[in-house]
Amino acid sequence: MDTQTKVTHHKVPRSPSPASHAGRRLEHWFPVLLATLAFLLIFTRLDDVYLWQDEAETALVARHMVTYGLPLSTDGRTWIQQEGVPFREYTADYVWIYHPWLQYLVTAISFSLLGQSTLSARLPFALAGLLAILMQYVLASRWQPDRKIARVGAVLLLFCVPGILLARQCRYYSLSALLTLLVLDSYLRLDSARPWALPYFVLSAVLLFHTEYAAFFPVVAALLAHALLTVPGHDLRERFLPGLLLIGLLALPWTSLIPIWHGRTPLGVLAQSSPAAATSSALARIVGLVGEQLLQITVWIFPLILVPATLAGLLAGGRSVQRTAPRAPRLFSLIILVIALHVVALSFVGWSFFRYLTHLIPLLLILLAVGVVWLMTQWRVLGYLTLAALITTNILHILPYRLASSFLTGRSVVWTRLQSSPATRWMSVIPTLGLRSDLLMYAQELTHDYLGPTEGLVAYLGSHALPGQQVLVNAEDLPLQFYTDLRVFGGLSGRGLGEVQPDWIIDRRYGHYRDQLVAIVDSGPYERITIPYPDLRWENREEASQHQFLTDMNTESVVLYRRLPALVPDTSERE
C-alpha cells in the first residue's frame, strides 16, 4: 500500500529591510521634528523688534476691541488713520473697516489672556505660521501618494525666510496662509461621506473671508472653476454648491464692510480708466502687474529655472498615479488654478505687494517640491544639491535674471524701452538682484539684538516725557501710540498738523511735511536732541527685500525736539 506524504509549504515572513524600517521611523518622527524646528525658527526672539506701523495698527485696533467689543479707530486718546482723507478706513461711527476683523479678534484674545505687549501681539500669528507649515505637510501627504513630495515641500516652507518673516508679524498674513490650506483640504474632502466635511469646508472659507478679502475671492473662484471642470454633476449639486451657498449666506451680511463701499476703491486700473480708455495703457498696466507678481514669485519663492523640472514631475506623476491615486492630479490642478486666478485678480485690482502672495507660498512650494523630487529621482545627487541650494542661497532664483541682465546691459536702447513701458517697467529691478543667503542673515537676526528708531524713541520719551504730553511725528505714529501714554499726532495722515502745539516734535528723515516741522521748531523755543538709534524709514518691514536683519549702523541718527519752558519775566521788586 502506497503512502502519500503531503507536504505543506509555509511562507516564511520576510524581516523588514533596514531601509523600510528607517523610512517608517522617518514618517513617524518627521512631523514632530518639523514642528520643533518651526517653533524654534518662528518663536525665537519674537519680541526683539518693536512693532512697526502696520503691526501697530493691528495692535491698536485690537486694544480698542478689548475695551469696547468692536474694532474702533479711536478710544478718545489714540487715533488710527493712515490716509489723508478721513472716513475711508473707518465708518462715521469710527468702526474700522480697512481690513476684515479676524486678525483683530485673535489679537484681542491674546491681549486679554497675556496682557498687551509686543510678544502677545505677535503670538497668535506666529502660532498660525507654525500650523501652516504642518498643514501644508498634511495637505500634500493626504492628497498625493508620494510622501517625499510632502516632506520636501515642508522642508522648503520651513526654511523659507520670506515666509518666516511674514509669520512673525502682528498681521493677518499667516492666518491667510493657514486658512487657504484648510479651505483646499476641506474642498477635497467634500467627496467623502463624513458628516463633518461640509461644515469643515464652510467654516474654513468663512474664516478666510474674515481674514483677507484679496485671498478669499480668488480662492473661491478657483474652487468654483475646479469643481465645474472636475466634479461630477451629482457630487457638484449634492456637496459643493450647497456649501458655496452657505458660505455666501454667512458672508453676505459682512460684505457691507468691504472698503469699496465706503469711498476706498481698490480697483486701481479699472476705477481710474474711463470706458473710452479701456485701452492699451490700461492693458499694459495690468500686464505689468502680472509681471511684477511673477517676478516676486520667481525671485523669492519658486525659481524660474526649476519650472521645467516641475512640469516634468507633474507629467510623470500624472501618468503613474492616474489609477492608483486619482486624487493627486486634482490637488495639483487646484493649486495651479488658485495661483493663476490670484495673480490675475490682483493685477486687475492694481495690487502687487509681496505680502499679498503670502497664502500662495505653501502652495507654490508644494509645486516646487514636485520638481525637486523629480530631479532626485532622475539624478539623485543633483536633486539633493538643488534642495540644498534652495534652502541656503538665492542663486537659483536670480540666475536667469542675472543672465538676462548681462545680455541686455549692452543694448541700452532695448533696456530703456523696457523700463519705460508700464507693461515691462518691473524689469528695472533685475539689475539690483544680488547673491544672498536669507537663512544666514536670519540666523544673524536671531543671535543679535536689533535697535530701531521706534525702540529708541519709546525709551527716550519714556524717561523724559510727561504723561499726556503732545507729540508731533511725521512717520510711524502708531507704534508710539501703542508703547507710550502720550498724545501722538501727525503720522501718515498729518492729523493735527498746524492745530496742536506739541511738546515734542520728531522729524523723521523719511517722513512727510518736513518743511512744516522746521517752521514749527523755528517758531518756538525747542531743544534739539539726537539719540543713538538709526533713523530708518520704518522700524522694520515684513518683506525680505526691505527687512533689516541687523541694526543699521551706517545711517543718520534719530532727531527730536523738546519744547523749552517759556521764559517768564521777573516782576518782583528789586532791592
What's the pLDDT tens digit per position in 295-348?
A: 999 999 999 999 999 999 999 876 554 454 555 668 999 999 999 999 999 888
Q: Which three cell numbers stand for residue 277?
A: 480708455
Say whether pLDDT at 567 is over 60.
Answer: no
Q: How far is CA 321 from CA 315, 326, 534, in A?
A: 10, 6, 56
**Rounded CA gap, 125 and 173, in Å?**
8
pLDDT of the residue at 574: 44
pLDDT category of residue 268 using cuts at 50, 70 and 90: very low
Per-residue model confidence as pLDDT tens digits over 406-455: 777 666 666 677 777 777 878 888 888 899 999 999 999 999 999 999 99
Provide the β-strand partners of residue 558.
531
Please state the rounded mean pLDDT for residues 5-17.
Answer: 53
Altogether, the residues listed in the chain come to a count of 575
Write out the E strands in 18-111. none
Say whether pLDDT at 51 is over 90.
Answer: yes
pLDDT of the residue at 117: 97
**Rounded CA gap, 183 and 226, in Å?**
13
pLDDT of the residue at 18: 62
Say whether pLDDT at 269 is over 50.
Answer: no
Pairing of strands 504-506, 557-563: antiparallel
Query: Domain spans of the chain?
Result: 27-47+117-432, 453-563
Please state the rounded mean pLDDT for residues 109-125.
Answer: 97
pLDDT of the residue at 279: 64
Average pLDDT, the chain: 88
pLDDT of the residue at 236: 72
pLDDT of the residue at 572: 53
pLDDT of the residue at 374: 96
Say whether pLDDT at 359 is over 90.
Answer: yes
pLDDT category of residue 99 using cuts at 50, 70 and 90: very high
pLDDT category of residue 21 using cuts at 50, 70 and 90: low
Q: Cell 490675475: give the residue.
A: 344
SS percent in the chain: helix, strand, coil, step 5: 60, 5, 30
Say whether pLDDT at 490 is over 90.
Answer: yes
pLDDT of the residue at 298: 95
Please state the rounded mean pLDDT for residues 18-40.
Answer: 83
Say whether pLDDT at 157 is over 70.
Answer: yes
- 265 against 151, higher pLDDT: 151
Run of H or E including 190: none
Percent of residues, the chain, with pLDDT higher than 70: 87
429 C-beta neighbours (distance < 10 Å), count = 15
pLDDT of the residue at 424: 80
pLDDT of the residue at 348: 84
Run of H or E including 72: none
pLDDT of the residue at 388: 97
Q: How far is CA 382 from CA 225, 306, 375, 376, 389, in A?
A: 37, 12, 7, 7, 10
Lowest mean pLDDT among 65-79, 412-426, 535-549: 412-426
- The alpha-helical segments, DSSP class H, found in 322-452 are 327-349, 361-378, 380-392, 395-409, 412-420, 438-447
CA 484 to chain centre: 27
402 C-beta neighbours (distance < 10 Å), count = 16
Per-residue model confidence as pLDDT tens digits over 499-514: 889 999 999 999 999 9
pTM for the model stands at 0.91
pLDDT of the residue at 418: 72
Say whether pLDDT at 15 is over 90.
Answer: no
pLDDT category of residue 351 using cuts at 50, 70 and 90: confident
Say whether pLDDT at 264 is over 60.
Answer: no
pLDDT of the residue at 325: 52
- 41 against 23, higher pLDDT: 41
Lowest mean pLDDT among 58-72, 114-128, 256-270, 455-469: 256-270
- 10 against 534, higher pLDDT: 534
Say whether pLDDT at 5 is over 50.
Answer: no
